[in-house]
Chains A and B, each alone.
Chain A
Amino acid sequence: MSRIAARLAQRRGEGRRALATFITAGDPTLDATVPALQALVRGGADIVELGVPFSDPEAEGPSIQRSSERALANGVALADVLQVATAFRRVDADTPVVLMGYLNPLLRMGYEAFAKRAAAAGVDGVILVNLPPEEADAAQTTLAARGLDLIFLVAPTTRRERAEHIAARASGFIYYVSLKGVTGARHLDVADVERGVAALRAVSDLPVLVGFGIRDAESARAVAARADGVVVGSALADAMGERATCPERIPAALESWLRPVREAIDER
């Protein structure tokens, strides 16, 4: 069983919800990333999403745009992200790592070369924001051959027939986008999320993790009660941005930000 499936099955078995975190690799420096990931795991993260910085992050709000810009200012490339993943895997054998970003850097490296290097780095899955299922055949086949999950997104605007089609080819988990908007948006509506997740459950048995717009323990608690887990990102990007000039203070800040979120989703 893959690390992703194992971790999500374990949480399901315990009757607990999963917590996934997103930070951009190389923000604010490459050296800061592994300590940040370890701090997130200490704070309660079940899955760590590692952002691959991109010059044109179309679906991101200002927080994650800026984290991508900070990483790119350091010249961080996909090859560097894979090295960070390798270094993290050396100190953490169990926590699933999911790379998240936009298609072009992968396309440029080549799907085959990327899949090989990502598998060797101990990466478990990939989320590509601008790769919808219609365009995903080649990427998914190549990644699957190396044991990597291509994780698809479903949005509030996704119609039922399309959701069925996505569910039929999804693996790992389904990422439900909580709202119409960019990451970090502030108009989360829990009733909408409940309806969306319920509709998704009607067509898929895969775990559903909900992201976009979850900013604190309260919103995490409310959403976790209606899904298999939550993803937090923009708030972490802000915390890192505030400490960009003193990266040694990032791990403690991330850990103490995340712990109450973990507690909130565990209490429900």
Chain B
Amino acid sequence: MPARNDPPYAAPDAAGRFGSYGGRFVAETLAHALEALTSLYETLRDDAGFRQALAEDLSSYVGRPTPLYLAQRLTAQVGGAKLYLKREDLNHTGAHKINNTVGQALLAKRMGKPRVIAETGAGQHGVATATVAARLGLECRVFMGATDIERQRLNVYRMELLGAEVVAVESGSRTLKDAMNEAMRDWVTNVDTTHYIIGSVAGPHPYPMMVRDFQAVIGQESRAQCLEAEGRLPDLLVACVGGGSNAMGLFHPFLDDAGVDMVGVEAAGLGLATNRHAAPLNAGSPGVLHGQHTYLMQTDDGQIMETHSVSAGLDYPGVGPEHSHLKDLGRVRYAAATDAEALAAFRTLNRAEGIMPALESSHAVAWAMQEAARRPASDIIIVNLSGRGDKDIDVVAGLGGDSAP
């Protein structure tokens, strides 16, 4: 953990490197588009007009700020530290993903690109992209693994209602990583007319930095809200990690606060010992995929492994490069929750608080409940409730999760 007099956290560098992670490992055809996007973003992020437009969209369209909610019954039930939930599920479209798509849509407009594409796992990022595309009159195509289309039907229908074209990706493991490959192929082909809205803090520079900045509103609000409610900063932040955008958004504004611990919760699937999980920071090793150097789930031969998680949004063999850096620095700790633990937490939060979390977010809730029980009542924990769980009802019902706990 940094001491008080450490220099402020400043990653990435100009080449998009977070320590030895990140970078821009892409086919040459995309190099110019990424350079142009980087310089546009670097200009606009300090531009008063752009910041104003973004702030207005976040308040009047997305519905921000979202509440920081004290989960009193859950806290009492767990019997330990105070549990606050950052209610990203209350955003328009039901997850944190729209914080990023609103920002990137403004960039697409500025670049004069009439078409946007996206990859999606759970469908939340696809819905958030289709939503901003509808609002700005942009053509929209979303790539989604065929397996994910099966398990997230509701979101597929939503995207189509919003006027987006949903393309089923049948290659590889038919999940999020394959959707991202296909989106890159589309982008290479249509780079002149198309902006690729990546949905997490992953991919080539500038995406990990840019998406983090758009999501940092989560942490900025949480910080102010916690100071307001408690008169001090929290002791611990907890968020689930797929690509890592909701976690980076919560963590980033606190990185220089030495007293604030942070834990990212990966998907342990059927268990970390089984190889049927999606936890590269817990059980992977560094490599290059989708334009970034980062922790990956890979074989001894450097092939990317198929992953498993009950939640489509966490079912990804890589992770945003900044998390790899924060792991190696020891600034953030990475834990994992299994499918079964997430399902149990899904049920618990419904019954205790009348809140239905996304299965992704349920991983963070599951781990935070265990940790809260180990901590004194004077401790404050903020859990990022990254999305709502309506989209997961079919999966949960199919697994018997609708029966009483």
Partner-B contacts on A (CB < 8 A): 54-61, 65, 69, 72, 77-79, 102-109, 129-132, 134-135, 152-159, 162, 177, 180-182, 185
Contact = CB atoms under 8 A, between A and B. Distances in A.
B32 interface: yes
A160 to B, nearest CB: 11
B28 A177 contact: yes
Contact of A153 (B27, B178, B191): B27
B290 interface: yes
Contacts of B188: 59, 180-182
Interface residues of B, number: 36
A132 B288 contact: no
B177 A154 contact: no
A105 B185 contact: no
Contacts of A135: 23-25
B172 interface: yes
Contact of A106 (B289, B296, B302): B302
- The list of the 3 closest CB pairs from A to B, nearest first, reads A108-B302, A105-B302, A77-B301
B299 to A, nearest CB: 8
B288 A107 contact: yes
B42 interface: no
B291 interface: yes
B302 A58 contact: no
Given A134-B24, A155-B29, A180 B191 contact: yes
29 contacts: A55-B304, A56-B177, A56-B304, A58-B185, A58-B290, A59-B27, A59-B185, A77-B300, A79-B301, A104-B288, A104-B302, A105-B303, A106-B302, A107-B288, A108-B301, A130-B26, A130-B288, A131-B25, A132-B24, A132-B31, A134-B15, A157-B33, A159-B32, A177-B28, A180-B190, A180-B191, A180-B192, A181-B188, A182-B185
Given A108-B301, A157-B191, 7 more contacts: A57-B181, A72-B303, A107-B288, A131-B25, A153-B27, A162-B31, A162-B32
Contacts of A109: 302
B72 interface: no
B341 to A, nearest CB: 29
B59 interface: no
B304 A104 contact: yes
A141 B94 CA distance: 49
A58 B185 CA distance: 6
Interface in B58-107: none
A131 B287 CA distance: 13
A130 B300 contact: no
A158 B303 contact: no
A74 B325 CA distance: 35
Nearest to A181: B189
Contacts of A162: 31-32
Contact of B28 (A69, A108, A155, A182): A155
Interface in B1-56: 15, 23-33
Nearest to A65: B171
B298 interface: yes
Contacts of A182: 185, 188-189
B301 A130 contact: no
Interface centre among A55, A152, A156 (most CB of B within 10 A): A55
A262 B210 CA distance: 48
A131 B288 CA distance: 10
B184 interface: yes
Nearest to B189: A181
A85 B11 CA distance: 42
A135 B31 CA distance: 12
Contacts of A157: 28-33, 191
A18 B171 CA distance: 34
Nearest to A130: B25
A72 B25 CA distance: 22
Given A153-B28, A155-B27, A157-B191, A56 B301 contact: no
A77 B171 CA distance: 20
Contacts of A180: 29, 188-192
Contacts of B190: 180
Contacts of B302: 78, 104-109
B376 to A, nearest CB: 45
A104 B24 contact: no
Nearest to B17: A135
B122 to A, nearest CB: 20
B27 A58 contact: yes
Contacts of B178: 56
Contacts of A54: 303
B29 A129 contact: no
Contacts of B24: 132, 134-135
A177 B32 contact: no
Contacts of A78: 301-302
